[in-house]
Amino acid sequence: MPTPHRVVIAVFADVDVLDVTGPAEVFSLANGVIRGRAEYRVRLAGPVRGEVATSAGVRLLADLAFDEVGAAVDTLIVPGAVDMTPEGPIARIDDRVVAWVRDTAPHARRVASVCVGAHVLAAAGLLEGHTATTHWSTAAQLACEHPGVTVDPDPIFVRSGRVWTGAGISACLDLSLALVAEDHGEEAALSVARLLVMYLKRQGGQSQFSVPLSRPASTRRDSAELRRFIADHLEGDLSAAVLARRMCLSERHFARVFRKETGTSPAAYVEAARVEAARRLLESTDQSLQQIAATSGLGSLESLHRAFQRQLRATPAAYRRRFRTLT
């Protein structure tokens, strides 16, 4: 009988509940897929045994106190907690958690943080000299407080040696699936993703943001409707003249309004939306590059290549090799 894979997830006051339950659910579902191989045994560890109140008000139960965990940990997962302030979220650092992580991490086969748990890893000295990510809202805080860490706020997760860091909040599922893939192969991870009814299993280098999410929210109703129109008509004529007419504005006035609303020009926004559509097709279909160029509205193969170089500094073929999700 294979030796169980021991996963320990830290829990503490006001921890984000999904940061804890998301990975636990992935590993539980994985056990149903990998029958006959080393199963995951998940335990929650806190400063003391017993109830822990999460930020959502839901209570979790710590199976073990920190001093009962011992050294035999395969995967150590560290979630996070934030304090909401008028200036925005601030990652909270609990010295007891930091001290325990600092003592336990050297004995674990791998260590992973979820969302703002990266701040705990950094405080424990585990990210020094590494590249890491965290929730976009606290990335600046992480970079400021830990200049020895290369903070990349864009990817959904980053692996640097045996240390993994994940963005927030649903990205905990993507990171956990990547851990399953490392242990049991891509097919097992994809099977779990299907059980979770995830649209696709995203790879670590992908952005935390889609084009709409990466732009400011519209303050004008007609601008918000135009952005929806763009997303629904990528194959059509989305020239500035056409878009200006939809908003009943002159092209010059439209360009000023659009930049104020989105922070970019109409042409740049449309190209980014088309590249995002092309990325999804490269990840999840076997369409040819020419078909993808047409379907995404980029038109020609040459335009597809130019847009990818501008937006992603990669060729479409190289992107597909890296992020392909078909089996």
Q: What pLDDT does residue 115 have?
A: 92
pLDDT for 311: 81
Question: Do the beta carbons of residue 177 and residue 185 sit within 8 Å?
Answer: no
Scored b (16 or more CB within 10 A) or e, 227-258 reads: beebeeebeeebebeebbeebebeeeebbebb
pLDDT value at position 205? 47
Q: Which helix (H) or strand (E) holds 140?
A: helix 139-145
Say if CB 55 and CB 92 are below 8 A apart: no
**298's tokens:** 């980029």
pLDDT for the residue 185 = 87
Give the pLDDT of residue 325: 52
- In percent, the amount of the chain with pLDDT more than 90 equals 60
- Give the pLDDT score at 216: 53
pLDDT at 114: 94
| 154: amino acid identity, one letter | D
227 in Cβ contact with 218 (< 8 Å): yes
Predicted pLDDT of residue 231: 87
- The one-letter amino acid code at 175 reads L
* Predicted confidence pLDDT, tens digits, the chain (327 residues): 688 999 999 999 999 999 999 999 999 999 999 887 889 999 999 999 999 999 999 999 999 999 999 878 999 999 999 998 888 889 999 999 999 999 999 999 999 999 999 999 999 999 999 999 999 889 999 999 999 999 988 788 888 899 999 987 778 888 999 899 889 988 888 888 888 876 444 444 444 444 444 445 556 788 888 988 998 899 999 999 999 999 999 999 999 999 988 888 999 999 989 998 898 888 778 899 999 999 999 999 999 999 988 887 788 988 787 666 544
Question: pLDDT tens across 4-17, in order?
Answer: 999 999 999 999 99
**Residue 154: both structure tokens together:** 């864009």
pLDDT tens digits along 51-100? 999 999 999 999 999 999 987 899 999 999 999 888 888 999 999 999 99
For residue 48, give Cα distances in angstroms to 10, 62, 82, 103, 113: 11, 7, 21, 16, 21
Q: Which of 193, 197, 93 is nearest to 138 (CA)?
A: 93
Q: Map 306-317 to HEC letters.
A: HHHHHHHCCCHH
Indicate whether this model's pTM tops 0.85.
Answer: no
Tokens of 201: 């299993």
